[in-house]
Chain A
Amino acid sequence: MEHFQYFIELFLGGLTRGSIYALIALGYTMVYGIIQLINFAHGEIYMIGAFTSLIVAVVLTSLGFNQLSIIILASLIAVIYSSAYGYTIEKIAYKPLRNAPRLSALISAIGMSIFLQNYVQLAQTSDFVPFPSLIPDFDFVEPFAHIISTQEIIIILTTAVVMILLTILIKFTKIGKAMRATAQDREMALLTGVDVDLVISVTFIIGSATAAIGGFLIASHIGMINFYIGFIAGIKAFTAAVLGGIGSIPGAVLGGLVLGWTESFATGYISSDYEDVFAFALLVLILIFRPAGILGRTTAQKV
């Protein structure tokens, strides 16, 4: 019975972690799907989202707002800021390189990531900052509190909602159709009257917004943030995206969950010292043995 409970704990812990990875992975997947670029700065957007929500929350608390409005405003402003950053990053670092070799864009992305990390480090602090616990515990969770907390439930639910909304957006709206068209063939989309620049901007904005939600949730869950969280989270989310098959939205969620569980069980049953090593090892193995991911398709190289 004890074993079973431990297993359940690890399972739910993995689910929570995985949901966060999935939220960030969505942004990677969408951007990659549209412009075939690994947006290295995406993890930094997530970090900025966490920081923004922290700052807003603290300011509002000092102004005496009530808890619910703080949660809503903090997450909302974080989403807006992160989207603005995502938009700006695309305009500065990627747009001028759209027709350049992929290596150039990739280096630019890495540069942007390093820049943003150090920007936040210098502007804020290089230490860990405590993040106030904003989400209250619901009463009905009380009986299960030793297994799962309210925050964890909210994280899992949010991921599910975001994923469903995104799927609807991409499948059924006009901009979603334009996004799919751009992903298929950018030139052709342009010729048929799709505003490709707009589509790419929207993709970056949506991706950044989901990352910001992830940032807000994880920050209030773990309770500590620093400027470096984006880097590790970014790589892990990328792993998740690749794991599920980059370019595919359900793939990103699935990949996030698989990665979350892998980490959770591996640290729970093997050793907690090597937490990050498991993720990286999984990444390396996946890329070597199944680069198309779980849900991805192998595409023939065009000659």
Chain B
Amino acid sequence: MFMTFTILVIKVDPIQRSVSWRWENMVMVGVGSFFLSFLWRYAMARKLAGNKNMAEGKILKTTIIQRLMEDPKLFRPALIFLAVFVVAFPFIFSHYQINIMTTALIYVVLGLGLNIVVGLAGLLDLGYVAFYAVGAYSYALLNYHFGLNFWFALPIGAGLGCLFGILLGFPVLRLRGDYLAIVTLGFGEIIRLVMENWNEFSFGPSGIANIPRPDFFGHEFSLQNATIFTYFIMIGLALLTIFFVNRLQNSRIGRAWIALREDEIACQSMGIDKTKTKLTAFALGATWAGMVGVMFAAKTTFINPPSFTFMESAIILSIVVLGGAGSITGVILGALILSLAPEYLREVREFRMLAFGACMVLMMVFRPQGLITNVRRVYKFEKSPDSKKEQNL
């Protein structure tokens, strides 16, 4: 522990030296980083010390959340309140706020989609954003060339996402976990690089502009109303996703995914087709990404390759990791925190990715089960078969 500290102190040294070397405008950066290092050291000390407390405090925390989730007397009013808030939101807050919230919802759905792949089936997909790009580009290009409208593009985007998922998944899903991560990462970069360089097809780095927003049976809204409309579509999509993912998770397929994550060999020996099950998870995750990609293109009306870098995949992954792999509530919470916090805390915005990275490491080290713990999720599993069983007997 002490050794870690000494090196953490040395860590800032190259930056300090940069002060003596760079011009005046870099002095601020140097000094700032110096203080940041102190902060970092304090945080580290607290983390190490707090590790034990956290382990003890965990039990208390989960019981509170559990009580909220399990007790209908508390849960229902909370749900109603949430529903009212969600509906009222666009009429209370500004245009800008609605946009932010729509983006957050996009991340919720992306997180839930990736959750199927990473959280349930335990397949680390680092190129998830590629399917998102496939969806976005399919809408943009189909609209550009054939004037296809949003509602037709939505299922097509989802379908193409699924298709790409299967095409990629088929050869790579035989690979071991860590190799799979690298291949998907490579694939994600290939898609982006192709989009960037294949000018005739994707208009290269300049991207595609003037993508129409969603319409309502041919009726086009004013900018203000279109934003609200987009927000509600996104709410709908998010609800649909939660609904489906929840059902999948507690189904025969969902159980197979979890079993696969737990022990691949035992899983096969219990009669589960490894490749098929993995492919289903992979393709379903890709389907959702494709669908949200269409949504993203429609919302921003402009897409270009830099929207789909590896960093985007990393953000989605940290949503899943932060929220708790496998837990729907956790992923929603994670998505809201990670996408809203940087918007509302503007001062620290440039430290966003830094914080994401740190958060991934710290979560893995101190709390691998995520914000919403495993215990709760399993409790839910315990609950449903149990009640069914009683019906039957």
Complex A–B touching at CB under 8 A: yes
Binding site for B on A (CB under 8 A): 36-38, 48, 51-52, 55-56, 58-59, 62, 81, 84-85, 87-88, 91-93, 96-97, 100, 102-108, 110-119, 122-124, 231, 235, 238-239, 242, 273-274, 276-277, 280-281, 283-284, 287-288, 291, 301, 303
| B358 adjacent to chain A (CB < 8 Å) | yes
Interface-centre pick from A84, A115, A242 (highest chain B CB count, 10 A): A115
Give per-residue flags for B180-212: 1 if the beta carbon is below 8 A from chain A beta carbons, else 0: 011101110110011001000000000000000
- Indicate if the CB atoms of B197 and A84 lie closer than 8 Å: no
**Bound Cα distance A182, B353 (Å):** 35
- Contact residues in A for B368 (Cβ distance below 8 Å): 100, 104
**A36, A102, A114, A301: most-surrounded residue (chain B CB, <10 A):** A114
Name 18 extra pairs, CB < 8 A, besides A59-B21, A92-B365, A277-B190: A38-B178, A38-B181, A81-B14, A92-B361, A93-B361, A93-B364, A97-B365, A107-B317, A110-B314, A111-B361, A111-B363, A118-B357, A122-B351, A273-B197, A274-B193, A277-B193, A280-B193, A287-B179
Does A281 contact B175, Cβ atoms closer than 8 Å? no
Name which residue of chain B comes closest to A276, CB basis: B193
A-B pairs, 7 with minimum CB distance? A111-B360, A115-B357, A114-B357, A108-B364, A280-B186, A118-B354, A111-B361
Q: Provide the bound-state CA to CA distance between A276 and B187, in Å.
A: 11
A91 / chain B contacts, CB cutoff of 8 Å: 3-4
Is the Cβ of B15 less than 8 Å from the Cβ of A123?
A: yes
**Cα-based distance from A242 to B178 in the complex (angstroms):** 12
Bound Cα distance from A274 to B358, whole angstroms: 32
- Asked, given contacts A58-B21, A91-B3, whether A106 binds B183 with beta carbons under 8 Å apart, the answer is no
A188 → chain B closest CB, angstroms? 23
**Is the Cβ of B314 less than 8 Å from the Cβ of A96?**
no
Known: A111-B358, A111-B359. A283 touches B178 (CB 8 A): no
Partner of B182 from the list A48, A51, A235 (CB cut-off 8 Å) is A235
A-B contact count (CB 8 A): 165
User: Could you tell me the distance between the alpha carbons of A10 and B177 in the complex, rounded to whole angstroms?
Assistant: 36
Q: Could you tell me if B175 and A291 are in contact, using CB atoms closer than 8 angstroms?
A: yes
Residues of chain B contacted by A81 (CB below 8 angstroms): 10, 13-14
Q: Whole-angstrom distance between the alpha carbons of A275 and B186 in the complex?
A: 13
Select B177's contact among A87, A96, A103, A231, beta carbons within 8 Å: A103
Q: Provide the bound-state CA to CA distance between A51 and B354, in Å.
A: 18
Interface size for chain B: under 10, 10 to 19, 20 to 34, or 35 or more residues? Answer: 35 or more
Tell me which residues across on chain B come within 8 A of A108, comparing CB atoms: 360-361, 364-365
Residues 264 to 307 of chain B near chain A (Cβ within 8 Å): 265
Complex: chain B residue closest to A124, CB-CB: B18
Q: Which of B130-180 contact A (CB under 8 A)?
A: 171-172, 174-179
Which of B124, B189, B365 has the most chain A CB atoms inside 10 A of its CB? B365
Kindly identify which residue among B8, B183, B353 contacts A88, using a CB–CB cutoff of 8 Å.
B8
Q: In whole angstroms, how far apart are the Cα atoms of A48 and B34 in the complex?
A: 17
**Chain B: which residue is nearest A81 at the CB level?**
B14
Assuming the A-B contacts A56-B17, A93-B365, A124-B18, are A288 and B175 also in contact, with contact meaning beta carbons closer than 8 angstroms in the complex?
yes
Majority SS at the chain B contact face: helix
Which chain A residue shows the least CB distance to B313?
A110
Q: What secondary structure prevails in chain A residues at the interface with B?
A: helix
Q: Give the chain A neighbours of B357 by CB distance below 8 A.
A: 111-118
B366-385 to A contact mask, C-beta < 8 Å, 1/0:
00100000000000000000
Within the complex, the shortest CB–CB distance from A230 to chain B, in Å, comes to 12
Asked if A301 contacts B265 (CB within 8 A), the reply is: yes
Known: A273-B197, A288-B172. A119 touches B178 (CB 8 A): no
CB distance from B282 to the nearest CB of A (A): 15
- Do B177 and A102 touch across chains, with their CB atoms under 8 A apart? yes
Q: Is B115 an interface residue (CB 8 A)?
A: no
Q: Residues of A contacting B365 with CB < 8 Å?
A: 92-93, 96-97, 108
Residues of B within 8 A of A280 (CB): 186-187, 189-190, 193
Contacting residue for A62 out of B21, B178, B186, CB 8 A: B21
Least CB distance, A78 to chain B, in whole angstroms: 10
Enumerate chain B residues within 8 angstroms of A283, measured Cβ to Cβ: 182-183, 186
Q: Which of chain B's residues has its CB closest to A88's CB?
A: B7
A235 to B182, CA, bound (A): 8
Whether B338 is near chain A, meaning CB under 8 Å from some CB there, is: no
Which residues of chain B come closer than 8 Å to A303, judged between CB atoms?
265
Contact A110 B354 (CB under 8 A): no
Task: Give every chain A residue within 8 A of B126 (Cβ-Cβ).
Answer: 110
What A residues does B11 contact at CB under 8 A? 84-85, 88
13 A-B residue pairings within 8 Å (CB atoms)? A38-B178, A59-B21, A88-B4, A104-B364, A106-B177, A114-B356, A118-B357, A122-B33, A123-B18, A124-B18, A274-B193, A277-B194, A280-B187
Please name all residues of chain A whose beta carbon is closer than 8 Å to the beta carbon of B172 when the two chains form the complex.
284, 287-288
A29 to chain B, nearest CB (A): 14
Closest residue on chain A to residue B362 by CB atoms: A111
The reply to whether A274 and B4 contact each other, CB–CB distance below 8 Å, is no
Contact A119 B354 (CB under 8 A): yes
Residues in B neighbouring A111, C-beta threshold 8 A:
318, 356-364
How distant is B173 from chain A, measured CB to nearest CB, in Å?
A: 10
Q: Does B311 contact A (CB under 8 A)?
A: yes
Cα separation A93 to B11 with both chains bound (whole Å): 16
